[in-house]
Amino acid sequence: MQVREILRVKGAALFTARPQQTLASAIDMMAEQDVGSLVVMDGGRMVGMLTFREVLQALRQQACSTGLTVGDVMVADPVTAYPAMEVNVLRQLMIERHSRYLPVIEDGTLLGVISFLDVAKAVLEEQSLENRMLKNYIKNWPDEVES
């Protein structure tokens, strides 16, 4: 299974923020859209990722009343995935880098964001399909022909 297959199932919805945007407005957007990450875009290109982890760290350090911006707390130059990446490689990368969300980029174009939940769902679906196919194969095992 490849990342492109997860993106196809997940859909193309992208939620973005600008580095100059207030953190409070980004939090509002994340809450309204029920998402755990925003891709930070500047001048038509991805410059970072804002996830609930960065929001929580910023809130712990100082209350949002100080006018923090998304650019103040985003992950600059985040780890990315590519469409042909195998899911096992993707899972390992997400675990090693402690990333719950990875932007998917191809030829400099942002295609979407894959979450750890998206990966878990895709793997579960693939395993369920394989399991059903194996059970069907065993159920329909041909009888041995006597000679």
Per-residue pLDDT tens over the stretch 69-116 = 889 888 899 999 999 999 999 999 998 988 889 999 999 999 999 998
**Higher per-residue confidence, 101 vs 143:** 101
Mean pLDDT computed over every residue of the chain: 87
Which secondary-structure segment (H or E) carries 17? strand 16-17
pLDDT for position 145: 63
Position 121 confidence tier, pLDDT thresholds 50, 70, 90:
confident
Q: Contact at 8 Å (CB) between 41 and 21?
A: no
**∠34-93-102 over CA atoms, to 5°?**
30
φ/ψ of residue 57, rounded to 5: -65, -40
Whether 143 has a pLDDT exceeding 80, the answer reads no
Among residues of the chain, what percentage have pLDDT more than 70? Answer: 94
What's the number of CA atoms in the CB half-sphere (13 Å) around residue 90? 30
Give the CA-trace dihedral at 44, 45, 47, 50, to 10 degrees: 70
Chain centroid, CA 112 distance in Å: 8
Whether 68 has a pLDDT exceeding 80, the answer reads no
End-to-end CA distance of the chain: 42
Whether 21 has a pLDDT exceeding 80, the answer reads yes
Whether 130 has a pLDDT exceeding 90, the answer reads no
Q: Contact at 8 Å (CB) between 94 and 119?
A: yes
